[in-house]
Structure 1
Amino acid sequence: MQVRFVDSLGLELEDVKFFTASEDPRVPVHVITRLMASSELASRKKLELELPYFQPAFPDNISAESGFLERLIQQRVSLEKMFYSELGIIGTVQVLNLAYEKEVTLPVPPFIMTPGAVLQFAIRFRVTGSEYWDNNAGCDYKLTCQTYKLTVPKECEDSLVHFV
C-alpha cells in the first residue's frame, strides 16, 4: 500500500509541515486573498476582490527622463527602472564603472502591502572605499500601496481555484 499527498488537481505536495499549538503558520497575503475569494464564491455572494498595487511618486523609467545621464555622472549612481508585482519590487540601477568591485544596495525595510502604506527607499553605491547615494534629490523614492477592485465575471465563478 502506498500513501500520496496531493492537492486539488492531483499534483504532488512537496513538503508537509506540522505546527505546534504555540506556532502560527505564516500565510502569504496573495493566498489569503484567494482563499477569501473562494469562500465568497462558496457563499454565492458577488465576488469583488481588492488587489494591492504600488503607485510610484516617480517615473517608472527614469533613464528615459531628460538629464538622466548628467544625473548619473554627478551622483555616480542612479535608479534606472522599476517593476512592481504582488511578489515584490524589482529595480535596475546604473553606476559609473569606477572600479571592478562594486556594491549596490537598496536599503528597504520590511513592508506589508496595506492600502495607504508608503515604502521609502534610497540606493547606496560603495566603491573604492567611497559611498554614493541616489535618494531622488533628497526626497527618497516613494511607493504608495493602493488597491483596485476587480469583479469576477459570473462565468468564472465556478472555476476551480488552485494554489501552488
Structure 2
Amino acid sequence: MPRGREISLKPPQSPNLRRRCTSLPTPTERAKLEIARSRSPTIKKKVRFADSLGLELISVKHFDDTDVPEGPLHLHHLETKFPRGPAQSVFMELQFTNPGTLPGFEQKVREVNVLLETVEADEFSLSGFVRVLNLAFEKSVSLRYSLNNWITFMDSLASYVPNSSDGDTDKFCFKIVMPTYPDNGGTLQFAIKYCVGGQEFWDNNNGNNYKVRRHRFKMSPPREWENGWIHFI
C-alpha cells in the first residue's frame, strides 16, 4: 500500500528565506505555480506561515466609547448624539363641523337629498364620505373643488360604497390627491354634486362651501436643547 505524501511543517533554515519578501507573485503567477506543482510528482507540498514569509498577521483593533469612527459612521454618530434642528409641520384645519357627527343627520339627508357625512384632509389629499337619498338606481356623485377661490375648479367622481344602502340612502366615497396644495394660509373649497333622474342636487354647506385651510408651523426643540446645537460654517 503506497504511503501518502508527507507534509513538512518545519520552516526552512536557509537565512535567505527568512528575509521579508519585497514583492509577492501576482494571482496569475500564483495560479501557474500551483498548476506546475500539481503536475510535478517530485515536488513536496509544504505549509508555510505568513510570518515566516515576512507577511503581516491579521491585526484586531478593539474600540471603546472614547473612539470616534471615521467616514460615514462619524456622521451617523453625530446625527444620533445631537438633536436635529426645528422641523416644520403641516396642519389642515377643517373650517366646518363634519355633518355626520351632528344630531339629525339622517333626517336632513332625506330633506336635502345629498349631504357630506365626514371628511379628512392631510398635506396632499382630501377624502371623505357622502350620503344621498336613493331616488333611483342610476345616480352619480362628484366633488367639485377649487384651490384659488373658484377662479378655476376641478371635478372628481365619487364611488359607491358596496353594501352601504339602508333602503332609503346610499353612501359614496371620494379621494383627491393633488400635486400642489394651497400655500400657508391658503384654502381649499369644495361642494358636492348629486345627479339622479335628470336632476342635480348640491350640498355647498348652506351656500358657504366646505373649506379646508392649510397651516404650516415650526416645531421648537425643548429648552434643555437650546445650548446643544452644533453650528457648522
Shorter-chain TM range is 0.5 to 0.7
Q: Identify the match of residue 103 of structure 1 among 134, 140, 161.
A: 140
1:108 match: secondary structure: strand
Report how many residues are paired.
112
Query: 1: CA distance between counterparts of 2:83 and 2:114?
Result: 51
1:98 Cα deviation from its structure 2 partner: 1.0
Aligned position for 1:149: 218
**Please, which of 74, 80, 86 is the counterpart of residue 48 of structure 1?**
86
The unaligned stretches of length 5 or more in structure 2 are: 1-78, 148-179, 226-233
Cα distance between partner residues in 2 of 1:106 and 1:98: 19
Give the match for residue 57 of structure 1.
95
In 1, Cα distance between equivalents of 2:104 and 2:209: 18
Query: How many angstroms does 1:96 deviate by?
Result: 0.8
Match of 1:138 among 207, 222, 228: 207
Larger Rg: 2
Separation in structure 1 between the aligned mates of residue 214 and residue 123 of structure 2, nearest angstrom? 11
TM-score, length basis structure 1: 0.59
For the Cα contact (< 8 Å) 1:53–1:86, is it kept in 2? yes
% identical equivalent positions: 33
User: Segments of 4+ in structure 1 off by > 6 A?
Assistant: none
Q: Partner of 2:186 in structure 1? A: 117
**Alignment deviations for residues 126-163 of structure 1 (CA, whole Å, 9 cap, x no partner):** 01100000000111101111123335788xxxxxxxxx
Q: AA paired with 1:136?
A: N
